[in-house]
């Protein structure tokens, strides 16, 4: 088992070296499977996300003049340095502007013609690969769409409300940027995720040695807590922890109908290369 894999598992779980080595051996080197089994056996609540989203760039949010719809988009570069370059930012803004005007979310269709030519010219000028990764759209149902962009365009969020106004939608979008809920309400949580969590909680509860009826209550309570912690309307509002997001929008005569959250590089895995190993390989070659 590679030292790098063991190191990553230790960083993500906070568990000991031997425990991580054993878990990786039993999972055949599958780090996600190892984490799942460790959660079952050690009672560990969760693991840190993998730190392999090294793709850089920016995300943007745009809302139509009438507030009825909005878009988020992501344009990637190889380094943070280029992501701050004026030429790169001008290109990214041109992409977002054209996408919103055309209400286009298909990247291939969006880039056909002038934008693709501009991208190719930018690549030649900067010397890094530049790519438009994704565009998504959100439409309001009898309400408004609000936007929030955080941290030098590292996180962009759209929130759609039925009723309410853009200030309220922006406040909720700010909350989504900070807390990163998975769904709007508990009813929206995919059943497969619930079953996966239930399996983990069951394994943890069985190790307690408590009676079956107590175990069943423990599992039910943990699932309820999991749903509350990951559902937007059940979460404590970041600007006022004494109320939930659901109660906040309800008090304004509104309801949340959807949200989209983009974070730069999320879900992109890049190959980790150990510098010493790379040098050694070059010497051997």
Per-residue pLDDT in tens (0 to 9) along the chain, 285 residues: 678 788 888 878 878 888 888 889 989 988 888 888 888 876 666 666 544 333 799 999 999 999 999 999 999 998 899 999 999 999 999 999 999 999 999 999 999 889 999 998 898 888 888 889 999 999 998 999 999 999 889 999 999 999 999 999 999 999 999 999 999 999 999 999 999 988 888 888 877 778 888 888 888 899 999 999 999 999 999 999 999 999 999 999 999 999 999 999 887 765 554 545 555 555 665
- In this prediction, residue 6 carries a pLDDT of 86
Give pTM, 2 decimals. Answer: 0.75
Domain with CATH 3.30.479.20 in the chain: 56-139
Write the class of the CATH domain 56-139: alpha beta
What DSSP letter does each residue of the chain carry, written as one string? --HHHHHHHHHHH---HHHHHHHHHHTTT-HHHHHHHHHHHH-----PPPS----EEEEEEEE-TTSSEEEEEEEEESSHHHHT-HHHHHHHHHHHHHHHHHT---HHHHHTTHHHHHHHHHHHHH-S--EEEEEEEEE-SSEEEEEEEETTTTEEEEEEEEBS-HHHHHHHHHHHHHH--SBSSGGGS-HHHHHHHHHHHHHHHHTTT--HHHHHHHHHHHHHHHHHHHBGGGSEETTEEEEEHHHHHHHTT-EEEEEEEEETTTT-------HHHHHHHHHH-
């Amino acid at each position: 088992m590679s030292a790098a894999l063991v190191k990553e598992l230790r960083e993500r779980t906070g568990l000991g070296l031997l425990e991580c080595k054993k878990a990786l051996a039993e999972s055949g080197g599958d780090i996600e499977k190892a984490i799942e089994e460790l959660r079952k056996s050690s009672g560990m609540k969760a693991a840190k996300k993998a730190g392999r989203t090294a793709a850089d760039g920016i995300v943007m949010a745009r809302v139509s003049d009438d507030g009825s719809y909005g878009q988020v988009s992501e344009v990637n570069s190889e380094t943070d340095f280029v992501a701050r370059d004026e030429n790169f930012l001008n290109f990214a803004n041109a992409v977002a502007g054209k996408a919103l005007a055309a209400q286009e979310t298909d990247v291939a269709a969006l880039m056909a013609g002038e934008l693709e030519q501009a991208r190719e010219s930018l690549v030649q000028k900067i010397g890094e690969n530049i790519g438009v990764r994704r565009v998504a759209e959100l439409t309001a149902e009898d309400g408004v769409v609000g936007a929030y962009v955080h941290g030098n365009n590292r996180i962009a969020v759209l929130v759609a409300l039925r009723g309410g106004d853009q200030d309220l939608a922006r406040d909720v979008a700010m909350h989504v940027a900070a807390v990163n809920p998975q769904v709007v309400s508990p009813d929206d949580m995919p059943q497969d995720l619930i079953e996966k969590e239930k399996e983990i909680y069951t394994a943890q509860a069985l190790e307690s040695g408590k009676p079956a009826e107590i175990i069943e209550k423990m599992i039910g309570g943990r699932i309820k807590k999991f749903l509350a912690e990951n559902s937007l309307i059940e979460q404590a509002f970041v600007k006022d922890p004494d109320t939930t997001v659901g109660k906040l929008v309800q008090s304004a005569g509104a309801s949340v109908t959807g949200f989209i959250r983009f974070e730069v590089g999320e879900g992109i895995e890049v190959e980790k290369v150990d510098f010493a190993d790379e040098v050694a390989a070059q010497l051997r070659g």
